Amino acid sequence: MDADSVSFAADLAALAWQVELGADEAIAEEPVDRFEVRAAAPAARAAPAAQPVAPAVRTAVVERGSVEIAAGCGDLASLRAAIGAFEGCSLKQGARNLVFADGDPRARVMVIGEAPGREEDREGLPFVGRSGQLLDRMLAAIGLSRRAEDPRAGAYITNVLPWRPPQNRDPSGDEAAKMLPFLFRHIELARPEFLLLLGSPAARAVLSAEFGVTRLRGKWHEWRGVPAIATFHPAALLRDPGKKREVWADLVMLKARMGG
């Protein structure tokens, strides 16, 4: 094997390794030398800044602003527009589309996940990839559908975050905190009878819980008087099908509470 072939094989292996880690799409048109950026960073930080604002103060200002903005939204259309114009969450800068909701907002059940993935970011709709297909089957098993004409059999689906985190990582606590006022206003405007919370980030955010879905599932909770049940995210079922029995038990609890 000549030197060119060896170099090509090494480059191909490095590319495959990056894809395996989740770096499966290019955002910038030009390559960026991250080592050069890191080397230059200390010099940039050494430059004096005029009246720096402490991170805690910045976060408090952003959160207070999002509370006021969300409270001023009188319907779902204005809420969607307000989220689209909000600049307080850096995830917006790397996302292709705002992912607001899907399904019938009149539905009795509102489903809340963590954040959009790659397919959701492309289409601007929540739960449209493999996890979404599995979610549709889960809902169908208890007589619900995001495409149902009757709101009594409908499902309204959204996420804690409306923008995709890089490489589909879990949302950080700070990111969720900035967007929670919008999510809470979303629930208030949709007025569901029940909440179905998918995954630990969604369950912790909505229920203000310190622990994850493994301890939260299997029992009823409340959000401002709305009955809520938490269960594993469909993505967790794709990784570990053994959790399907527990999820089915949670869905049966929801169906029974709905009177089905």
Q: What percent of the chain has pLDDT over 90?
A: 70
Of 17 and 56, more confident: 17
Residue 17 CB partners (closer than 8 Å, separation 6+)? none
Which tens digits make up the pLDDT trace of 138-156? 999 999 999 999 999 999 9
pLDDT at 57 over 50: no
CA 137 to chain centroid? 20
pLDDT at 30: 57
Instruction: Give dist(CA 88, CA 63) in Å, integer.
Output: 8
112 touches 103 (CB < 8 A)? no
The pTM for the full model equals 0.76
pLDDT-based confidence at 47, cuts 50/70/90? very low
pLDDT-based confidence at 15, cuts 50/70/90? low
pLDDT at 54: 32
217 touches 246 (CB < 8 A)? yes
193 touches 145 (CB < 8 A)? no
Instruction: Give dist(CA 203, CA 164) in Å, integer.
Output: 18
